Amino acid sequence: MNTQSPTTCPFHGDALSPVPASHHPEPPSLKGWPPGPPSRLTGWSHLARMARDLPAALEAWHRDHGDLVHLRIWPEHQVIVVHPDLARELLVTHHDALIRWERGTAVFSRLQGRSLFVAEGEEWRVRRQSLQPAFQHRAVQGFVPAIAGAAGRMLAGWPADGGICEVGSGFTALAMDVIVRMLFSTPLGGDARMAEEAVEILLRAANAELYWPAGWPDWVPWKRAKRRALATLRGLIDRHLRARLDLSPDDWPDDLLTRLLQAHRDERAGWRLDGVRDECMTIFLAGHETTAATLIWWAWCMAANPLAQDTAREEVRRVLNGQEPTAGRLAELPYLRQTIQETMRLYPAAPVLSTRRSTRPISLGGWRFPARTLFLLPVQAMQHDARWFPEPLAFRPERFAPGAPPIPRGAHMPFGAGPRVCLGQHLAMTELTVIAAMLLQCFALSVPAGVAPPRPVMRLSLRPDKPLRLQLSPVTGG
């Protein structure tokens, strides 16, 4: 049932003007707001539903109300954008009219400082341009030996005779180790478990804070666990930063920290030392969490789809012949990459992109939205839409094969779109492909008897609701 939201806005008056919704060409804009669930007095019940399960709530509202859904959550107007054309139009055509939602910026700033993730305007452009070369495809290829080495050490620690194993903690520790080596040229070592626990505490805390219009400062007594977790990660970053600064610049290794420090030396006004520290924290948090989450879901998809797993393993065996992956051979593993792409379609690590606020009126999908409208982009809802992906909940890597029916632009965007597309997308795909190939060389994955499919839960990233336990069987013959 489509329930029309109120058509006038007490805050913006008649800022909206008239016509029927249609994508191409865009007519004069409709007056009022798109359909949406009734909000009663404040609409705060919507927040409670979103806090319980944000992706499920957004998918349900999409089914009930269409591709543009209005949520009245006092004192804001929010619009859920679920059509790929409209999502890309918003992120690409209107990108210069959007900023990150202030509440989200405040929450993330408490975790990672004033980093690229929360910066806006000229500050964002300067930082993005400084960091871009370190994350381009050619630069990322240089990290392949370090990724393969870290993956080899992790797999060597798994039981050689197989057995049932909880894979999530191992993938998280591995992803942390890889990003720390890329940042600082040193292993994470004994800090792994401590860092994993700290990250889990911080992600839970940040996720909860997003659903409150305002939050308590971190010094209040009941946030002791969050303060300790932050101190743990900041201490980790600071130790590496101090150790690097104690060296002569001629002795600095070629890693991400060196590139950040060189930017600091060359552009002191735009890159204070605190900014280097903040970027290190952001790269550590974002650079391992989404990779670890995707690896966990990929392992589940392989275990639950043995034919796809066998096909990927045979490709790996034929191309690598038991050797570690190299940058030059990764392009020869197209089917393996398809299994990763399909995993990210079903279980995007970031199922909802960061909420945006418009700084001026925007015309979108036949509607004209006033300045200060909030826009939510549910990636998972778009990627589970049967219009673009028949049988959307089925695992079908062939959707991404050459010659497959084209996927509409914007229907699959696990890394976002537009100028703020994820800076680390090449690094993520490279890391995922290397680790997946090496795992398939060593083990076959299967679902133990009696184990039910994991339920996805969003705590900033999408993770299984319980630790994922899979059966590992050694692979003979490489």
**The tokens of 16 are what?**
């909206």
How does pLDDT run across 438-451, given as a tens digit for each residue? Answer: 999 999 999 999 88
Q: Mean per-residue pLDDT for 42-54?
A: 83
What whole-number distance in Å separates Cα of residue 389 and Cα of residue 407? Answer: 8
Which pLDDT value is given to residue 204?
82
How does pLDDT run across 251-293, given as a tens digit for each residue? Answer: 999 888 988 888 777 765 466 788 888 888 888 888 888 999 9
Q: What percent of the chain has pLDDT over 70?
A: 91
Q: Mean per-residue pLDDT for 131-139?
A: 83
**Residue 223 DSSP symbol:** G
**237: pLDDT strictly greater than 80:** yes
pLDDT-derived band at 317, boundaries 50, 70, 90: very high
pLDDT-derived band at 6, boundaries 50, 70, 90: very low
**61: pLDDT strictly greater than 80:** yes
Between the alpha carbon of residue 193 and those of residues 100, 173, 226, 278, the distances in Å are 32, 7, 16, 22
Which pLDDT value is given to residue 268?
56
**27: pLDDT strictly greater than 90:** no
Which pLDDT value is given to residue 113?
78
What whole-number distance in Å separates Cα of residue 385 and Cα of residue 63? Answer: 10
Which pLDDT value is given to residue 284?
87
Which pLDDT value is given to residue 392?
95
pLDDT-derived band at 305, boundaries 50, 70, 90: very high
Matching CATH number, 44-474, of 3.40.1180.10, 1.10.630.10, 1.10.357.10, 3.20.20.70: 1.10.630.10
How does pLDDT run across 329-369, given as a tens digit for each residue? Answer: 999 999 999 999 999 999 999 888 888 999 999 999 999 99
**The tokens of 475 are what?**
């692979």
Region of poorest pLDDT, from 17-21, 85-89, 219-223, 291-295: 17-21
Which residues define the annotated binding site for heme? 422
Chain mean pLDDT for the chain? 85
**10: pLDDT strictly greater than 50:** no
What whole-number distance in Å separates Cα of residue 145 and Cα of residue 124? Answer: 31
pLDDT-derived band at 108, boundaries 50, 70, 90: confident
pLDDT-derived band at 419, boundaries 50, 70, 90: confident
pTM to 2 decimal places: 0.88
Which residues define the annotated binding site? 422
**135: pLDDT strictly greater than 80:** yes
Region of poorest pLDDT, from 80-94, 157-171, 371-385: 157-171
* Strand residue runs (E) in 295-379: 353-358, 362-364, 367-369, 374-377
Region of poorest pLDDT, from 195-204, 298-307, 460-469: 195-204
Strand 367-369, strand 456-459: pairing: unpaired
Which pLDDT value is given to residue 270?
60
**The tokens of 89 are what?**
């139009």
Q: What are the extents of the domains in the chain?
A: 44-474
Which pLDDT value is given to residue 469?
93
Q: Mean per-residue pLDDT for 388-403?
A: 95
Q: What share of the chain is helix, strand, coil (3-state, %, to 5)?
A: 50, 10, 35
How does pLDDT run across 240-251, given as a tens digit for each residue? Answer: 999 999 999 889
Task: Give the 3-state DSSP-derived string for 51-118, with helices as H, strands as E and coil as C.
Answer: HHCHHHHHHHHHHHHCCEEEEEECCEEEEEECCHHHHHHHHHHCHHHEEECHHHHHHHHHHHCCCCCC
Q: Say whether 180 sits in a helix, a strand or coil.
A: helix
Q: Mean per-residue pLDDT for 135-153?
A: 88
